[in-house]
A and B are shown apart, each in its own frame.
Chain A
Amino acid sequence: MTSKTISTSVYDWVDERLGLTELAAFARHKTVPVHSQSFWYYWGGISLFLFLVQCFTGVLLLVYYRPGAEAYESVRQITFVMHFGWLIRSAHAWSANLMIFAIMVHMFSVFFMKAYRKPREFGWLSGMALLGIATVFGFSGYLLPMDELSYFATKVGLQIPMAIPFVGEAIANMLRGGPDVSEFTVQRFFALHVVVLPAIFLPLLGFHLWLVQKHGNAAPPSVEALPASERKSIPFMPNFLRKDLAMWLISLNILALLASVFPWSLGKQFDSLAPAPVGIHPEWYFMSPFEMLKVLGAILPGESGEIAGLLLFSLGIALWVMIPFYDIKSSSGQRHRAAHYFGLIAVILLLATTTIGYWTIR
């Protein structure tokens, strides 16, 4: 038997059991629309790539990280003793931030292209859930080095659920593992960060990606309104995939540059008796809600302000998540202005409160 006939018979054997030919046929027929907004199609892929970087660098950190009382010492060791440990840690932290940024760009592009419309409601919902989990990844990961900043950020962050009436304190204590942030907190945040969250995130991500395969990329209403002859598309295999991978390479280069030129710092070890450091602030993706709560707290002082803030904030998020269910007019191709304005207000509010937040730190 020649090598060709051997490889053919091996392929046939596998194909008969796994249906490779069907998959290949599916991949051949998959196309991606081409129009003036095609650039935004890359951002889901970029988010996915950065998530893979997170998994990879996360496992590398796991090789030396020790949760609990030794957390700070082990991160210090990773950063200053292990060869290139600073780089691995820096890449993990930078990639986390870039991933949240990429997911947000992806979310807003989906919103403004109205890609959440029928039949893609589940894509939108699962995407929102993935973003939500990604921020919890960020919040829990931020504590793990147990330096001054992470200690106070977690302390402040866990004050927010305290505002929930009746059960707030129990929830906060459950998350903290006691009335204060301690080595018990870092231990359970670690379990959350490396076991619980990935266990929820991965199947959801699989669902999200499966939906993209099932429904394909959504074209914006303006493109959908065009006659079929004027709508352009390119094959996914290999044309779009090639561009996708080029974007991954660009992302990796940007990440490598940021991680090595601006290495992530490690502060002093936390001290539960030390005062909060000057200029402490939440991560940029929490800055906006943090600032909104602060502003509302100033208008409505006391507990009522906190509760009102939480309520308003939850309402805003609920409205945002539920957009596919009330922006239904546009499914006929007609542009729905209200949803568009809602999106613009959300962007402006997000940018404005984030700017004010950073402005008022100084």
Chain B
Amino acid sequence: MSVLTNIPNIVPEPQEAGEQLTRRFFLGAAGAAGILYTAALAYPIYRYLASPEEMALSATAVTEVTLKEAQKLAPGSVLMFKFGTAPAMLIHHEDGRWIALTAVCTHLGCTVQYEPQADRIHCACHGGVYNPYTGANVSGPPPKPLTLFKVAVNDAGVEVSRT
């Protein structure tokens, strides 16, 4: 500072303003370059860590699953399978009806269980109960019903698809 005070004040005002502008421009450009640089480093790392998520995303795009030989499922029994990445169940009811629905409890995501003797779908985590024909939430904490799938039974197997 002492050096600066020794210099006679001959610098005109407008030029000083111009210098400030370039200084501001420089700081702004440096800041932008820094942000770009950091982003260029962070982007590959984010994509790398997010890879399984993206793979799962393409798996959830699945709209149809063929379960080979599932037509042989005995009445009153259940077959667990994966629809995309999430567990799902195919129930062959005693009355011959075929029902397929997601097996993920709408409360906190536990996998639910079909209980033929009680004729209900039960979640062991918090006692949620669903209707095994419609997927409707009957009692307990679940806020929503289980999603039903369309079922087509043929000689080769069972085709389950999104409605």
Give A residues with C-beta under 8 Å from B: 60, 63, 81-85, 87-88
Chain B: number of interface residues, binned into ranges = under 10
| Alpha-carbon distance A255/B111, docked complex (angstroms) | 47
Which residues does chain B contribute within 8 Å of A83, judged by CB atoms? 44, 47-48, 50-51, 54
A56: nearest residue on chain B (CB-CB)?
A: B45
- 19 new A-B pairs (CB below 8 Å) besides A60-B45, A60-B49, A88-B44? A60-B48, A63-B48, A63-B49, A81-B51, A82-B48, A82-B51, A83-B47, A83-B48, A83-B50, A83-B54, A84-B45, A84-B47, A84-B48, A85-B48, A85-B51, A87-B44, A87-B48, A88-B45, A88-B48
CA distance A353 to B44 in the complex (A): 39
How far apart sit A81 and B44, CA to CA, in the bound complex (Å)? 13
* CB of B89, distance to nearest CB on chain A (Å): 30
The chain B residues found within 8 Å of chain A, CB to CB, are: 44-45, 47-51, 54
Q: Within the complex, what minimum Cβ distance (angstroms) separates B42 from chain A?
A: 11
Closest A residue to B50 by beta carbon equals A83
Chain B residues within 8 Å of A88, by CB: 44-45, 48
Q: A85 — which chain B residues lie within 8 A by C-beta?
A: 48, 51
Q: Which residues of B contact A84 (CB under 8 A)?
A: 44-45, 47-48
Q: How far is the CB of A52 from chain B (nearest CB, A)?
A: 13
Chain A proximity of B127: nearest CB distance (Å): 36
**Contacting residues, chain A, for B45 (C-beta < 8 A):** 60, 84, 88
Chain B residues within 8 Å of A60, by CB: 45, 48-49
14 of the cross-chain contacts (CB-CB < 8 Å) are A60-B45, A60-B48, A60-B49, A63-B49, A82-B48, A82-B51, A83-B54, A84-B44, A84-B45, A84-B47, A84-B48, A85-B51, A87-B44, A88-B44
Minimum C-beta distance from A49 to chain B (A):
14
10 A-B pairs with least C-beta separation: A84-B44, A83-B47, A82-B51, A84-B48, A83-B51, A84-B47, A87-B44, A83-B48, A82-B48, A88-B48
In the complex, which residues of chain A have a beta carbon less than 8 angstroms from the beta carbon of B47? 83-84
A60 to B47, CA, bound (A): 12
